Structure 1
Amino acid sequence: MAISVVLVALSASIHEFAHGWMALRCGDPTAKEAGRLTLNPLAHLDPFGSFVLPLLMAISGMPVFAAAKPVPFNPRRLRNPARDEALVALAGPVSNILQALAGTLLLYIEITFLQPFALEGTMGYEVFYAIVIVTNTYLYVNLGLAFFNLIPIPPLDGSKLFSPFLKGKGRRIYNLLQAYSLPILMVALYVVPTVLHLDPLGWYFRLTVENAYSLLTFWW
């Protein structure tokens, strides 16, 4: 459980770095000026959102997610605000998908090359098993972060893929939803499944995360 929390926090930090990196590529150096264009997790981690919240969720058996401090960026400094704001939003989930692919490759290497040593006794099987569990968790955590952040509900990245193109009433509704984004997420994650016995997030994760995980580990 503690390993899951640490992996979620580190993966979320890389996610935030990717937002800042893409913003800089698109002409906005705000994250760099704020000292947030770094892979150092300490620059991105939020004590509550990155550690306390996922730990409490894991203990209570709830779906685990974490939040790093959002990387600051200024849409007015982007070269093409509508297009670039969507690219900045997409960079975070893409970074998690790339981490999941890296985890898959590492898992393949471990099972292909380390497992024979574990079976022969050259390497303790408990050590091999622990390494595989950590890598597998890293893979799964990043798939979860990628698809969770692609949900089109403010303030998640999925909503920012289309928000730059909203006008008039659509923009006002989006801003209203963004103001109440945390309560909306809490209702969707916990109240709806408990009170209405509906689990839209669980259905969504089974459709996306579970299928993506099965696709990446079909060889295992």
Structure 2
Amino acid sequence: MAKICGVSTPEAVSAALDGGAAFLGFMFFPKSPRNVSPEAAARLTPPARARGAKVVAVVVDPSDTELDAIVAGLSPDLIQLHGKESPARVREIAGRTGCGIIKVTPVSEPSDVAAARAYEPLVEHLMFETKPPKDADRPGGLGVPFDWTLLEGARFARPWFLAGGLDPWNVGEAIAASGAPLVDVSSGVERGPGLKDPTLIRAFLDAVRRA
């Protein structure tokens, strides 16, 4: 199954749903070219809810005020935490929002994968993403893969996501190398920063199905 992240137009939503995406991600982070308001995201979600796709709010070290606004405006099924949230903060957010949690772990070496175990009892899904360079102004959506074999043979209590640098041409290889049950894509299906390409979305989802 796949998540198309950073959608912001009806065309992208339609392409994702027609291709069989199980999750749609909406970005709430001002530094991202995919940033939307809760109200704008909410206008895009009725087709997803009608077809059973999960609506995911993607945030980075959110404040309680930001979380309250997103929950009130969007009513997401899941909240994806893409910052440096501690296990204690993840527990707080889950309790405050009543939403399932996806916790992102940035990866560059085996110890990073092991560190995700601390979050495992608290979340619906873990997500493994490329660790950004120290000078990056955002934690993901940079279009760079990591060594997928670091996850080979990994077992977790719930299905986990592979993310980071995936696209229609490499996602089959990534699934084979990592054993990922779920995959996430954002920049790999864009024709420019934040500009989702429906043709690339469909190609990505076709490749996931084949894999």
TM-score for the superposition, normalised by structure 1: 0.25
Structure with the higher strand share, 1 or 2: 2
- Structure with larger Rg: 1
Structure with the higher helix share, 1 or 2: 1
